[in-house]
């Protein structure tokens, strides 16, 4: 079977393991069209899953950002009309450090943006504490960051730091900041030194890749921290409604 056929057959995690093993061969004529089909399917399912979760959260009156003015504040938004132009701008901005993984590009082309964060400015009585709601910054917000005159110098300093050492794109607040608690560094996608299909999602508790982070999010219905036993979050009815509708990525 092709990678795409295996993916449709339910071997989603195994397919991405196979793609990772290919290394640079993933971009060869023999494999690349097949991998593009896998990525397209993955992020169409991602968009579907986020819409399912969003719909259920609306039904239980989950408090999203009230009257969002910017795309990154919206709980869910479709791809921006100028996505292709913005992605080219992003490529130019990160060129001194490497490449934007295809996983993020497909996210912006097919999904758009998501922010299931609770609006703590309106009400600090959270429905679930420290649940770490899924959040991926809008593409225009990322462009605003990387085109800031100080961004290149700041990233160079991180790259030169022995304790960090890699360039990255900030994509999400950490689980503490999402609950308006002073926390750690943002969750960030590693910029790769060679063209890549996916890359590490840095600073996030699961120490994994971007696509696997989304997989973990969907296993937990959009809230990867919600099941921590010490928090005693009441989530089972929410899971019972949402989980059966989630598509495996």
pLDDT tens, 94-150?
Answer: 999 999 999 999 999 999 999 999 999 999 999 999 999 999 999 999 999 999 999
Q: Which residue, among 160, 183, 157, has the nearest Cα to 172 in the 3D structure?
A: 183
Query: Which pTM was predicted?
Result: 0.96
pLDDT digits (tens, 9 = 90+) for 142-155: 999 999 999 999 99
> Residues of the chain whose pLDDT is less than 50?
none
Whole-angstrom Cα distance, residue 71 to residue 45? 21
**Contact between 66 and 123 (Cβ < 8 Å):** no
Strands 135-136 and 168-172: unpaired
pLDDT at 165: 83
Report pLDDT for 183: 81
């Amino acid at each position: 079977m092709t990678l795409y056929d295996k993916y449709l057959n339910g071997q989603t995690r195994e397919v991405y393991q196979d793609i990772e093993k290919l290394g640079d061969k993933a971009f060869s004529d023999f494999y690349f069209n097949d991998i593009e089909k896998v990525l397209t399917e993955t992020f169409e399912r991602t968009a579907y899953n986020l819409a399912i979760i969003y719909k259920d959260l609306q039904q239980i009156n989950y408090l999203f950002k009230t009257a969002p003015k910017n795309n990154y504040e919206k709980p869910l938004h479709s791809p921006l009309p100028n996505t292709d132009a913005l992605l080219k701008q992003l490529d130019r901005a990160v060129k001194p450090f490497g490449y934007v993984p295809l996983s993020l590009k497909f996210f912006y082309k097919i999904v758009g943006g998501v922010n299931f964060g609770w609006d703590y400015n309106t009400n600090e009585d959270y429905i679930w504490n420290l649940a770490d709601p899924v959040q991926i910054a809008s593409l225009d917000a990322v462009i605003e960051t990387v085109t800031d005159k100080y961004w290149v110098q700041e990233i160079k300093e991180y790259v030169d730091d022995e304790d960090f050492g890699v360039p990255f794109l900030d994509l999400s607040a950490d689980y503490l900041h999402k609950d308006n608690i002073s926390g750690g560094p943002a969750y960030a996608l590693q910029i790769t030194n060679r063209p890549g299909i996916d890359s590490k999602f840095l600073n996030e508790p699961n120490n994994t890749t971007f696509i696997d982070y989304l997989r973990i999010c969907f296993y937990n219905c959009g809230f990867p921290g919600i099941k921590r036993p010490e928090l005693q979050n009441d989530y089972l009815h929410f899971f019972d409604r949402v989980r059966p509708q989630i598509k495996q990525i």
